[in-house]
Structure 1
C-alpha cells in the first residue's frame, strides 16, 4: 500500500512535469519521505532520471545548450555538498529538509520571482539545484525560476536535459557515499512505470487544462504534503 500511494504521487508529479517542465520532485518527494523514509533521496532520483528521457524524445531540438552548460558548472560542486548532507544528517532531519525545501519552492513558484537569465544566475541556480536535488530529490525550482519566461517547448526541453544529466550525477554521488543500496534502487525502479503513465496522461491534458488552475492545485497538494511531512518529522 505505501508503494502504491507513492506511485500515485509519482503519477501526479509526472503529469505536472510533463506539461510545465518541472514539478515531479515537489509533488512526490514529501509523500515518499513520509511513507518510505529510508528511500529518500535515492528512490526519488531514480524517478527523476526517467521522465526527462521521455520529454527529450519529443523536444530535444529545443534545448538551450548554453544554459545547460552554465547550470552544470554550478551543479557539480552543489551535488558534492548535497552528498555530504545526506551522509551526515539523520532520516528525521532529512525529512525536515524535504518539507522546508518544498515550502520554499511553493512560495517562489507562486510568487513567480523574476530572475535574469545570465551565466552567473544559471551557474548559481545549478549550484543550488545540486545541493537540494542531491540531498532531497528536489532540484527543479532554482533552474525553473531562471527559465520561467522561456517558451513552453524550450523550458521543457532545457530542464529535461539538465535534469537528466544532473540526476545521473547525483545518483553516482549517492552510490559512492553508500546511499543507494539495492533496496532503494529497487524501490525507485518500481515507481518508474507510474512516471510513464503520468507522462502519457500529460500529453492530451496540456491543451485542455487551465494552467492557472492546475498550478494552484499542484501548489496546494505540495503544501499539504510538506506540512504533513513536517509534522511527522517533528513528532
Structure 2
C-alpha cells in the first residue's frame, strides 16, 4: 500500500510541477499512470489534489483571471458533471481504463494539430460540458478548456484555468458525493497525496517565468501518449 502511495506521490509531484508551469497537465501526467498503478485512485483522490493545486495557483496569480471565460465554461460544466457521474456509475474498470486512454490520446492529437480555437461564449460552454463530463468521471478535465487559451499569456492561462478548476472540482466532487461515489478511503488517499502536490507546486514557482509553455509541452504529450496507448492495449487484451 505504502509503496503504491509513494509511487503515486512521485507522479503527482511531477504533475504538480507541470501544471504549475503551464496551467494544466496534472491530469495528463498523473491520470494514465495512476490508472495503471491503482484504478481506485481515480477520480476522487486526483480531484482533491487538483483542487488543492488550483487554490494555490489562484492565490499566486489571481490578478490575471479571465472571469468572463470562467463563467461561461462553468455553464457547460454543470450538466457535464451530471454526465460524468453517470459514466462513473455505469462503467466497469476495464471500460473505464479504456475510456481514459482514448480521451487522453484524443487530447494529445488535438494538441498537435494546427487548430487554433478561441475562447468564445459558445466554445467555452462546449468545452465546459466536455470538461465536466470527463473531469468528473476520470479527472481529465483540463484539455478542453486549456486548448481555447493556448495562445494567451502564461499568467492568464494559469490563473484562469486555476479558477475554473477550483469551481469545477468542487462541482464534480459534490456530484459524485450525492451519487454515493465518494468514500472515506478515497478522501484519505487524496489528503495523503496533497504534500506531494504542494512539493510540485513549490518547485514550479521559481521556474514558471523562465520556462515557456512550449518547453514542457512535448514531454507532457509524449508521456501522455505512451501511457494512453498502454491503457488502451491493456484494456483490449485484459
Q: TM-score by structure 2 length? A: 0.94
Aligned residue runs from structure 1 range 127-142, under 5 A: 127-142=129-144
Specify the alignment match of 1:8 in structure 2: 10
**CA contact under 8 A between 1:113 and 1:145: conserved in structure 2?**
no
Instruction: After superposition, give the CA deviation of every residue in 1:138-197 in whole Å (9 maximum; x if it has no partner).
Output: 000010011112111111111000000001100001111121111111111111111100
Q: Which runs of 5+ in 1 are unaligned?
A: none
Aligned residue runs from structure 1 range 129-168, under 5 A: 129-168=131-170
Distance 1:112 1:165, change over 3 A: farther
Specify the alignment match of 1:70 in structure 2: 72
**CA contact under 8 A between 1:112 and 1:145: conserved in structure 2?**
no
Moved over 3 A (4+): 207-213
Specify the alignment match of 2:127 in structure 1: 125
**CA contact under 8 A between 2:21 and 2:213: conserved in structure 1?**
no
Paired residues in the alignment total 235
**CA contact under 8 A between 1:52 and 1:163: conserved in structure 2?**
yes
Instruction: After superposition, give the CA deviation of every residue in 1:33-81 in whole Å (9 maximum; x if it has no partner).
Output: 1111123111111111110111111111111111111000010001101
The two structures, once aligned, show a CA RMSD in angstroms of 1.4
**CA contact under 8 A between 1:14 and 1:51: conserved in structure 2?**
yes
CA distance in 2, matches of 1:213, 1:68: 26
Aligned residue runs from structure 1 range 15-34, under 5 A: 15-34=17-36
1:204 aligns with 2:206: yes
Q: TM-score by structure 1 length? A: 0.95
